[in-house]
Amino acid sequence: MFLEVSQLEVRYTGRTQAAVQGVTLNLKAGDIGVLIGPSGCGKTTLLRAVAGLEPVTGGEIRLTKSVVSSATLSVPPELRRIGMVFQDYALFPHLSVGRNVAFGIHQLPRAEQAARVAEVLQLVGLTGSEHRYPHELSGGQQQRVALARALAPRPQLMLLDEPFSNLDVDLRERLAHEVRGILKAAGATALFVTHDQFEAFAIGDVIGVMNEGHLHQWDDAYTLYHRPATRFVADFIGHGVFAPATLVQRGNNVVAQTPLGDLTDLDECPLPSSYPAGECDVLLRADDIVHDDHAPVQAQIVRKSFRGSEFLYTLRLASGHTVLAHVPSHHDHALGEWIGIRAQVDHVVTFPRG
Ligand code: ADP
């Protein structure tokens, strides 16, 4: 493994709660890992610890097998060969793009510097911009210069902390795809921090969901969405609700009895004996709920938000339970209207009753 973080703890002095606690993750060479989670969950602290900017109080960080951080050792940041890109691109305003990008490669002979600058500017799609100045560039272009500057010294690991958060939403999603392309073309291994799950999905090969200093899951996007390891991950990724359910054995199959009726034909459903009296909560995603005029279950629309090709409806059942549903946007029902719904769940995700 390229980057190995094991049982990491980072505690700021004077704080009772550790900012990062028991975090273990591995990143393969060439992979892009993304840390996502609500504000204050410890993402930046973890990134800064990997950079060597924050001392660790427990566990260790290894880069290509060598320990770079532990409670008793800290390799200085400049010896870690890490490239960093932060939210405020922090380009030097009085230096040209070329000189900004050459900043970390001053030790190279002039001609080599110029060649490397041209190479990374090409990589970020800014060929020939050497003589321009930061103020002449758009926010997205400035951020790409910052990326080129970080890549120029051929770091072994790139760290990016919310690099797009100052940019507007449209640009952010496009840049997220672009940056993934650039990092892949550079063959870089990278760890990226964001609080935006669309950005995480657009960029990451592996995504880690953090909350209150803990890493809840470190997996690819598909697994996070379909097999969330904890209630927190289930809640944080995608749209869904938990509904009370009772698992019962029916012949060779397990059936989940829910407020939306019985869920049958379930793959990978836990056995009823996994929970006391088979009682648990099931995750019902908005895309598991299908609008069907002929369904026996009716639900009232209490909220709706337009998302282009579909609506996200918030629906209340007669039982008082709430579910969410993605419904194609040509089904434009009014608030307060009752519509038929049924659940279409292939593999059920269950948790102990909350
Ligand atoms: P995130 O990047 O996910 O928003 P941070 O890593 O910035 O989270 O913060 C994690 C926790 O550590 C928060 O409770 C924050 O208040 C605390 N924290 C961050 N930086 C410091 C610091 N320099 N001194 C003390 N506490 C800090």
Q: Is the dihedral of CA 78, 82, 88, 94 positive or negative?
A: positive
Backbone angles phi, psi at 4, to 5 degrees: -125, 120
Q: How far apart are CA 332 and CA 339, in angstroms?
A: 11
**Tens of pLDDT, residues 331-354:** 889 999 999 999 998 788 999 998
Q: What is the pLDDT of residue 89?
A: 65
Instruction: Give 35 Cα–ligand 1 centroid separation in angstroms.
Output: 14
Q: For the purposes of burial, counting CB atoms within 10 Å of the CB of 109, is it exposed (0-12), middle (13-18) or buried (19 or more)?
A: exposed
**Along the chain (354 residues), what's the average pLDDT of each consecutive run of 10 residues?**
97 95 98 96 97 97 97 96 85 95 94 96 94 93 93 95 81 85 93 92 96 98 92 92 94 92 86 95 93 94 91 94 93 94 90 90
In degrees, rounded to 5, the angle at the alpha carbon of residue 38 between the alpha carbons of residues 199 and 77 is: 75
Ligand 1 atom 21: the closest Cα is on which residue?
12
Q: How far apart are CA 71 and CA 58, in angstroms?
A: 5
Q: For the purposes of burial, counting CB atoms within 10 Å of the CB of 312, is it exposed (0-12), middle (13-18) or buried (19 or more)?
A: middle
**41 and 210 Cβ atoms separated by less than 8 Å:** yes
**200 and 176 Cβ atoms separated by less than 8 Å:** no
Ligand 1 atom 26: the closest Cα is on which residue?
12
In degrees, rounded to 5, the angle at the alpha carbon of residue 330 between the alpha carbons of residues 329 and 332 is: 75
- C-alpha of 288 from chain center: 22
Structure tokens at 31: 């992979």
Q: In which residue ranges of the chain is CATH 2.40.50.140 found? A: 240-352
Q: How far apart are CA 216 and CA 42, in angstroms?
A: 12
Atom of ligand 1 nearest to the CA of 20: 10
> Minimal CA–CA distance to 346: which of 296, 282, 297?
282
CATH number attached to the domain at 240-352: 2.40.50.140
Q: What is the pLDDT of residue 173?
A: 78
Q: What is the pLDDT of residue 99?
A: 96
Does domain 3-233 fall into CATH 3.40.50.10140?
no
Report DSSP state, residue 258.
Answer: E
Instruction: Give 248 Cα–ligand 1 centroid separation in angstroms.
Output: 45
Task: Name the one residue in this structure whose structure tokens are 């009682």.
Answer: 279
Q: How far apart are CA 96 and CA 129, in angstroms?
A: 9
Q: How many C-beta atoms lie closer than 10 Å to residue 145's C-beta?
A: 23
Q: What is the pTM of this model?
A: 0.90
Q: How far apart are CA 240 and CA 234, in angstroms?
A: 8
**Tens of pLDDT, residues 220-276:** 999 999 899 999 999 999 889 999 999 999 988 999 999 999 998 887 889 999 999
Q: In which residue ranges of the chain is CATH 3.40.50.300 found? A: 3-233
Atom of ligand 1 nearest to the CA of 42: 6
Rounded-to-10 torsion of CA 37, 196, 286, 309: 180
Residues near ligand 1 (Cβ within 6 A)? 12, 15, 19, 37, 39-45
Instruction: Give 43 Cα–ligand 1 centroid separation in angstroms.
Output: 8
Atom of ligand 1 nearest to the CA of 38: 3
- Mutate-to-test residue for ligand 1 from 17, 45, 53, 195, highest number of ligand atoms within 8 A of CB: 45
Backbone angles phi, psi at 341, to 5 degrees: -140, 155
Ligand 1 atom 13: the closest Cα is on which residue?
40
Q: For the purposes of burial, counting CB atoms within 10 Å of the CB of 118, is it exposed (0-12), middle (13-18) or buried (19 or more)?
A: middle
